[in-house]
Amino acid sequence: MMAAAAAAVRLGGSETFFIGSQTQRCQMKMMSTLLLSPTTSSLLSSNHSSSISSSSTSTSTSTSSSSRDKHNWDGASSFRNIDDALASFNHMLHREPLPCIIEFTKLLSAIVKMGQYYGAVISLSKQMELAGLSPDIYTLSILIDCFSHLQRVDLAFSVFSKMIKLGLQPDAVTFNTLINGLCKVGKFAQAVEFFDDFEASGCQPTVYTYTTIINGLCKIGETTAAAGLFKKMEEAGCQPNVVTYNILMDSLCKDKLVNEALDIFSYMKAKRISPDIFTYNSLIQGLCNFRRWKEASALLNEMRRLNIMPNIFTFNVLVDAICKEGKVSEAQGVFKTMTEMGVEPDAVTYSSLMYGYSLRMEIVEARKLFEAMITKGCKPDVFSYNILIKGYCEAKRIDEAKQLFNEMIHQGLTPDNVNYNTLIHGLCQLGRLREAQDLFKTMHSNGNLPDLFTYSMLLDGFCKEGYLGKAFRLFRVMQSTYLKPDIAMYNILIDAMCKFGNLKDARKLFSELFVQELLPNVQIYTTIINNLCKEGLLDEALEAFRNMEGDGCPPDEISYNVIIRGFLQHKDESRAAQLIGEMRDRGFVAEAGSITW
């Protein structure tokens, strides 16, 4: 008989993943290299199992004799709870003679079906071995399943190696469990490799096997490879089911390949595979992301004709997409339809509508929705609050924004960085820098680490109010943290220094960009060139202008006009004329003031 392919994940030192073939040579190599890890021994030790054993014993002693007789494996499916199952196991373990391994395996299977006692099953299986019961293929498969559920795929493969050593033949279920276990812990590449070995072993992958791997490939962005496996699956005579199609279509939509997803959808229907709610939700979201409203609406109508009721996700996708376009009245129509169909709006629905009104600066309407949301018993989350806080900030109603921020905390919600940043930005925009600084300190003391956006807003606020000293100190404080200033922050400072006539420090900061391995952008260069021209340093301005090309940011129309205007203001018509010709050759248009000389 052809040997099953085998592999193991060893996580002790450097991780390896051995893939065997169906040959005897591979089997022997497997047996010599795949040993139970120390962690496995620990988990399967008698010390670990003793806690379960003592629990079983105490439960057993308090159970009547007639009750014990009842709880053999024939009644496994009727266990009331884990204690009931443990009592039954303890009774079986002390029977003379011992029941066969099949009875114990059925009991373990019943415990696994309870959905949470995987550690208990592992301990019980060890007690079975200590009692002299040799595990069979089904017992070991249950153990593999338990370790996979506990996300200990390394230990699952240790059991798999034991299965091979005992000369047991793994089946498709065993392979499926191991592949699924690898995918659960994000080891998608190893899962694909193991799948290839699975096929080489002569075992026929099931639709579940293929679907698991396709899902794994999609999760790591390998949609093309997933589509290739999908085709291979069909060629092997294994027909994809609706779940397989859904996974592939959803991944295509997320990769912005909506037309390809629609092609798969048509092919699926041609194969007489009935789409479900997940099919339509993925496609509707994909279409909405590209503003293909008519097609999304057509799919919604198609769903209803097929008696597939749209769920909250379907409606939320539609409401969110329409609101982002500012079409709040249309979104309200969808909102009305969903309530008429008995689908209750949730926080996401209300938040999307509030966002739509905020985009239109209709903050009063947004607030009405917020209140209606609370009245309906739908508790706002930090995202809902932030939409309204941002709306008040943009409407320059900062005190109402602060009041809402404090209300959110009073309701037991913890503000996140977005909440803090929104309010800090609103305060800075109105020049209320003292309050912004206080909020910045509160943010930090509450464990919310400021990010680049937080620092940028304060920096910009200080610069706009002329507090260059404070801005520069804040900049240096930020540099002493884990954050690294970006080009936008340098631009804020350089621009402010130039505007307030501090060209010397601006040039120093400009030079610092190269030390920090940041390339200046067109905006920074243009700012420096403009101020060099104002100071009459035309040669240096031209040198900086010529350096732009070499630094990967060729001058744009604004850059040309700035330096030309500088030359003209200092009566250097010849170089101005040369630059005007150059800019025209590049397809740029000179400003009126640059050509009337």
Identify the CA nearest to 510 among candidates 470, 497, 553. Answer: 497
What pLDDT does 358 receive? 92
Q: At what angle do helices 487-499 and 468-479 cross, to 10 degrees?
A: 160
Q: What distance lies between CA 207 and its chain's CA centroid?
A: 27
Answer for the pair 144, 119: CB distance below 8 angstroms, yes or no.
Answer: no
Phi-psi region of 501 (alpha: psi -120 to 50; beta: other; left: phi over 0): left
CA nearest to 124, candidates 166, 178, 82, 185 = 82
Tokens read off for 67: 């009750």
* Kind plus residue range of the DSSP H or E element containing 262: helix 258-270
Q: Is 198 helix (H, G, I), strand (E, B) or coil?
A: helix
Task: Give the C-alpha distances (Å, rounded to integers) separating 62 from 70, 245, 568.
Answer: 15, 53, 102
The SS3 assignment for 578 reads: helix
Cβ neighbours of 131 (radius 10 Å): 12
Spatial neighbors of 95 by CB under 8 A, at least 6 apart, are none
Residue 560 is predicted with a pLDDT of 94
Count each helix (H run) and each strand (E run) in the chain, helices first: 34, 2
Reported as type and span, the H/E element at residue 254 is helix 242-254
445, burial (CB in 10 Å: exposed 0-12, middle 13-18, buried 19+): exposed
Of 378, 342, 340, the C-alpha closest to 353 is 378
Q: Using CA atoms, how far apart are residues 474 and 491, in angstroms rounded to an integer?
A: 15
- Give the residues across from 17 on adjacent strands: 9
496 neighbors 469 (Cβ within 8 angstroms)? no
Q: What is the pLDDT of residue 477?
A: 92
> What is the C-alpha to C-alpha distance for residues 12 and 64, in angstroms, rounded to an integer?
47
Backbone φ/ψ region at 457: left (φ over 0), alpha (ψ -120 to 50), beta: alpha
Q: How far is CA 501 from CA 349, 469, 504, 530, 531, in A?
A: 51, 14, 9, 12, 8
Positive or negative torsion for Cα 437, 441, 444, 447: negative
Based on C-alpha coordinates, what's the Rg of the chain? Answer: 34
Cis preceding linkage at 38, omega within 30:
no
Backbone angles phi, psi at 237, to 5 degrees: 85, 10
CA torsion angle for 102, 104, 107, 109 (degrees, to 10)? -60
Exposure letters 397-435 (e unless 16+ CB within 10 A, then b): ebebbbebbeebeeeebebeebbbbbbbbbbbbeebbeb
The rounded distance, in Å, linking the Cα atoms of 198 and 22 is 9
What does each of the 597 residues of the chain score in pLDDT, given as a tens digit?
333 333 443 333 223 222 233 323 333 332 232 223 333 333 333 333 333 333 333 333 333 333 333 333 444 456 778 888 888 888 888 888 888 888 888 888 888 888 888 888 888 889 888 888 888 888 888 988 899 888 898 888 888 888 888 888 888 888 888 888 888 888 887 887 888 777 777 778 889 888 988 998 898 888 999 999 999 899 989 999 999 999 999 999 999 999 999 999 999 999 999 999 999 999 999 999 998 988 998 999 999 899 999 999 999 999 999 998 888 999 999 999 899 989 999 999 999 999 999 999 999 999 999 999 999 999 999 999 999 999 999 999 999 999 999 999 999 999 999 999 999 999 999 999 999 999 999 999 999 999 999 999 999 999 999 999 999 999 999 999 889 999 999 999 999 999 898 899 999 999 999 898 898 999 999 999 999 999 999 999 999 999 998 888 999 999 999 999 999 999 999 999 999 999 999 998 877 655 544
pLDDT, residue 103, reads 87
Token digits for 557?
């129309």
DSSP-derived secondary structure for 283-339: HHHHHHHTT-HHHHHHHHHHHHHTT----HHHHHHHHHHHHHTT-HHHHHHHHHHHH
Task: For residues 102 and 316, give the distance between their C-alpha atoms in angstroms, rounded to a whole number.
Answer: 50
Tokens representing 94 are 């002390």
Axis-axis angle for helices 101-112, 118-130 (nearest 10): 170
Q: DSSP readout, 357-416? A: HHHTT-HHHHHHHHHHHHHTT----HHHHHHHHHHHHHTT-HHHHHHHHHHHHHTTPPP-
Q: What is the pLDDT of residue 592?
A: 61
Task: Tell me how crowded residue 72 is: count the other CB atoms within 10 A of its CB.
Answer: 16
pLDDT on residue 166: 85
- Asked if 322 contacts 330 with a C-beta cutoff of 8 angstroms, the reply is yes
**How does DSSP assign 451-471, residue by residue?**
-HHHHHHHHHHHHHTT-HHHH
Dihedral sign, Cα of residue 407, residue 410, residue 412, residue 418 = positive
